[in-house]
Structure formats: structure tokens, C-alpha cells
Amino acid sequence: MKRIVIIATLLLSVGAVAQEEIKVGSKYGVDINYTLLKTKEAKKKDVYLIVATATNTNDYDLYYTARKVGTAYDNSFTKIKVRNATGIFSKGRSIHGNNLNVKTTEGLLSVIKAGEIYNFENTFRVKKGVKPMITNTFIRQLKNYEDFTILLNASAVNGEWKTSCGSGSMSLDYGSQNLKNGIEEKTVDAISQVVNGKQFVWLKIADNSFVRQDNNEYTLSYNNDTGMFKYSTSDGITCDWSKI
């Protein structure tokens, strides 16, 4: 219904005639379709408006990781190209999912919701009388949520925890810590622990692994399957921390 409304509105606004909706790709249960509207016939070129959609036809969500570009993230998952366009659209335009701001070992996670329609519209030009040549390429591998190794985040950590090595509780808060070494300064992921009125900071050293800032003989490792921390000391003491 959403696609019909979009196309109908465009037809009324430009007085153009639409071609039929064409499927240009299908993978992982995601269908890629487009509709063309010829909006202008110039002396040497024809002008088209393309309305492209991606629909997750599954009854479950699909996930993928965004590609890091400089300091930003590109969360597109498929790209449509007009191969014989005369302008920059020959390089293609992408369709994007929803960013979840969830870190995995592969990068930031994005989602294509079940039954949702993702779209874009764009104008392009081809030589007069030439039929547009349109292709699609999936540029990300789409997976189930459980196929990813989720890294720690605030929602998983923040709150009250208990330890198997005693009857007390503690509060944990996930954030970051600025570290300075001479003139160099960097920010790392960190966990703030408050227990019996004392605060300790745990610095991330690897995926889901932390070392206590004031004593590197104390370590924490997080198990994604159990949702628990393993506390260890250099003299062999180990405890399990579980969220209350």
C-alpha cells in the first residue's frame, strides 16, 4: 500500500505515465523492485524518476553490519544502478536499513524489519529513446541475530549484579574512560564498578575482556551465552557475576 501511495502521488504531481513494477533482485527473502516514471522528453535525453523498494518478505527480522567509512558508518545493504545513465546515478544508489547502535565483533548492527518496506526515489537521464538498464547488487550478507557475537553495551551491563563469591551486590555502569600517556590521549570502553562504597574501573582490552585499571592482575570476561562475567585473579580465584 505504501508503494502505491508513493507512486500515485508522483504521477499526479508530474503528469507522467508509470511502467509496471519490476523485480530486479531477490535474496535472503528480501525483494528489490522498482517502478520508472518518464517525467520529461528533452531533445537529446529522456528524464526518468525511479522509485525503488526493498521488502523483507520473511516473518522474521534480518541483520547485517554497517561498513565503516572514515569516522562514519554506511548501513546500506543493497545498491541499484542505472548502467546507461548519463549522470552520477550510473554509480548507483543504495537502500539503507535501520541502525541499532549495537556493537558486534564484525561492526555496528543494522536491521531490516520483517514486512517493512525501505525505499528511495531519484531522477536520472538516459540518451533519448534508450531503455534504462537497471541492475541490483546485495552488498551485505544478511543473517539472523543469533549469528552475530554481540559485544557488551550499556543495556546489558548497567544495573545491579551479584557475585558467587559472597552475598553482597554491586552496581555496574558501562561507559568510556579517557587515558593519557604523555601527550597522547585516547578513549576506551570501560565498566565502572561500585561495591561497598568503593569504585573500581575496568578497561576493555579485547572483545568482552577487561582488566582493572589499578591492578592488571584482576580481569573480567563476559560470556554472551550465559550473560555473566567471569572474575579472575592472578592467584587463581574465580567468581561468577550475574545480573540481578
Predicted pLDDT at 95? 97
Please write down the long-range contacts of 33-37, taking CB distance under 8 Å and 24 or more positions apart: 33/3, 34/80, 34/134, 35/3, 35/7, 36/132, 37/7, 37/10, 37/11
Above 60 in pLDDT, residue 10?
A: no
Amino acid present at 205: I
**3-state SS of the chain: helix, strand, coil percent to 5?**
10, 60, 30
pLDDT tens for each residue of 66-88:
987 777 789 999 999 999 999 87
Q: Which residues of 1-25 are buried (b: 16+ CB within 10 A; e: fewer)?
A: eebeebbeebeeeeebeeeeeeebb
Cβ atoms within 10 A of the Cβ of 50, count?
20
- Cell reading at 104: 558486534
- Which letter, b or e, does each residue of 66-86 get, where b requires 16 or more Cβ atoms within 10 Å of its Cβ? beeeeeeeebbbbbbbbeebe
pLDDT of residue 91: 84
What band does 5 get if pLDDT is binned at 50, 70 and 90?
very low
Task: Provide the β-strand partners of residue 195.
Answer: 198
- Chain-centre distance of CA 212, in angstroms? 30
Residue 17: is its pLDDT beyond 90?
A: no
Determine the Cα–Cα distance for residues 157 and 165; give it in Å rounded to an integer.
19
Q: Judge residue 126's burial from the number of C-beta atoms within 10 Å of its C-beta, 0-12 exposed, 13-18 middle, 19 or more buried.
A: buried
Q: Can you tell me the mean pLDDT for 197-208?
A: 94
* pLDDT tens per residue, range 87-98: 877 788 999 999
11: DSSP letter: H
Give the model confidence (pLDDT) of 101-145 as tens digits: 788 888 899 999 999 999 999 999 999 999 999 999 999 999 999
Instruction: Answer yes or no: is pLDDT of 49 > 90.
Output: yes
**Paired strand residues for 179:** 186
Identify whether the C-beta of residue 224 lies closer than 8 Å to the C-beta of residue 150. yes
What whole-number distance in Å separates Cα of residue 216 and Cα of residue 37?
64
What's the chain's average pLDDT?
89
pLDDT at 160: 97
Question: Quick one: average pLDDT of 146-169?
Answer: 90
Place of cell 579472575: 232
pTM higher than 0.85: no
Find the angle CA(48)-CA(49)-CA(51) to the nearest 5 degrees: 140
